[in-house]
Amino acid sequence: MAAVSAELAVGVVGAGTMGSGIAQVAAAAGHPVLLFDADPQGATTAKGRIASALARLVEKGRMGGPERDEVLGRIQPCADLEDLGQAALAVEAIVEDLAAKRDLFAALEGILPRNAILATNTSSISVTAIAAELARPERVIGMHFFNPVPLMALVEVVSGLATDPSVADTVFDTAAAWGKSPVHTKSTPGFIVNRVARPFYAEALRVLTEGGSDAATIDAVMREAGGFRMGPFELMDLIGHDVNFAVTCSVFDAYFGDQRFTPSLVQQELVLGGYLGRKSGRGFFEYTNDPGRPSPSTAPTFHPPGGVSVSDLPGLLGPLLASIKDAGIVIRTVAGQSADLVLDGRVAIAITDGRSATERMAVEDSPSLMLLDLALDYTTATRVVLAAADQTTPDDLALASGLFQALGKSVSVFDDVPGLVVMRTVCMLANEAADAVNQGVCSATDVDMAMRRGVNYPLGPLAWAERIGVDRVVQVLSNLASSYGEDRYRVSPLLQRKFHARGALL
């Protein structure tokens, strides 16, 4: 199927932030746009906002004046819903209420041509449910944009049970023609992004709850080691805890209380107290007096070790060996060494495998043990996380810190929580992505694209799992499940299958 022709009109119902953004994108792609809002002045006001947004693009040299005038000229505010009668595609961006959306689509079905496509921008309501009472439910599709619409590339094309596959293909091609990155998904709770992203918040909240570290330090680690653009706590403050908590509760309820989506009591307390984040002036952090980004906890400077022994199979830390050598530290290779690094023959450093350092040191024959959290790229990461076993001494931790400080990295010391924070988050993101694929919600390629384009992850979760090894992901999740005794960390059947088959996820 081809995209909806640019010669054909697109109707947009709802002229708020999302609706006006959709109207702008459709008009920029060449469509006549019919914009309607229940507020008599809403569509006209929205066109004014679009004009201001386009003016800023002209000022920045990203759009010419004539092009701006053409885009604005294609947007026609409408006084009545009936004015959308010639639209080939209608996109609703109204309140997230099932009854309201059903009523709107029932009205549109009587106004638009029989072959017109009815698209909903819902982020959480079943497309199947929205279409259920219509005469032509096969024409209904989800077209879920992300805010701000003109800037965010992802569009989730959501098929309900009745959606005609040709309609899904047309909307997919239309979104691509509008310069977006569309992905196909079935209408299941959370679709792709709002489902797969839950562990990004949930695991950080759990580490905070267990005293692993403070919010500012966890954020810094997720940015500077994990490579994420924002940490989970600053992102929740930006989204608003009322919104973020409501989405988590919605997904949790929709999956019948699956432990994987359990809401956080810490976040519930913030919502109950009105600490909603930036919008209220306070969330995890203060915003009223513009204090800036809070400082993370960073270890003081220590002396580096004189020598480091490495395994003959150095794994993920292999790329660091050149930097260690450049720092003047003697490197010795020891065949069969279980730890990733051993410092001065007495302090072992191992990448976390989902167990605590204290447990590992109790069951493994190793010297004093420090666990290292995952990093997107250990050579470019500017911060690393260490956690010491309870059996170790402060001097052991100082020696381990000194090694990474000699490599130009800041060190944050966490309490000995299983899986630390980057590793457990990445493994849970990969696990949820794999479950979405296993359950036929989307393809492996689409889930990775959705998380990169929709929430700006540095890697797709499945690509990240392949980079660090599916066997490692399965091991971390299994150890977390053992540590906590919870179904929350059960391993996806798809990950289990690929682990046993040594197969690729992508």
Catalytic residue positions?
123, 144, 156, 194
Q: In Å, how far are 72, 231, 372, 405, 489 from 430, measured between CA atoms?
A: 42, 18, 20, 30, 12
What phi, psi does 252 have (nearest 5°)? -60, -50
Q: Provide the CA 214 distance to its chain's centre, in angstroms.
A: 21
Taking the C-alpha atoms of residue 417 and residue 349, their distance in angstroms, rounded to an integer, is 16
Taking the C-alpha atoms of residue 82 and residue 84, their distance in angstroms, rounded to an integer, is 5
Taking the C-alpha atoms of residue 443 and residue 436, their distance in angstroms, rounded to an integer, is 8
- Retrieve residue 450's tokens: 């959705």
Longest CA–CA span in the chain (Å) reads 79
What phi, psi does 126 have (nearest 5°)? -60, 125
What phi, psi does 15 have (nearest 5°)? -110, 30
CA neighbours closer than 13 Å in the CB half-sphere of residue 307: 9
Taking the C-alpha atoms of residue 359 and residue 418, their distance in angstroms, rounded to an integer, is 9
Q: Kindly report the CA angle at 238 between 280 and 99, in degrees rounded to 5?
A: 85
Q: In Å, how far are 12, 63, 65, 72, 77 from 69, measured between CA atoms?
A: 20, 10, 6, 5, 15
Please name which of 242, 218, 407 lies closest in space to residue 329, comparing C-alpha atoms.
Answer: 407
Taking the C-alpha atoms of residue 401 and residue 413, their distance in angstroms, rounded to an integer, is 9
Taking the C-alpha atoms of residue 205 and residue 267, their distance in angstroms, rounded to an integer, is 8
Taking the C-alpha atoms of residue 232 and residue 455, their distance in angstroms, rounded to an integer, is 12
* Sheet order of strands, 410-414 included: 330-334, 307-311, 341-343, 347-351, 368-372, 383-388, 410-414
Which residue is listed with tokens 């004189």? 306
Which residue is listed with tokens 């797709």? 460
Please name which of 218, 236, 162 lies closest in space to residue 419, comparing C-alpha atoms.
Answer: 218
Taking the C-alpha atoms of residue 87 and residue 10, their distance in angstroms, rounded to an integer, is 5
**Torsion angle, alpha carbons of 255, 197, 475, 477, to 10:** -40
Is 379 in contact with 407 (CB distance < 8 Å)? no
- Retrieve residue 177's tokens: 């023609």
Q: In Å, how far are 277, 288, 322, 412, 436 from 396, measured between CA atoms?
A: 39, 41, 23, 15, 43
- Retrieve residue 423's tokens: 């590793």
Q: Give me the count of residues in the chain.
A: 506
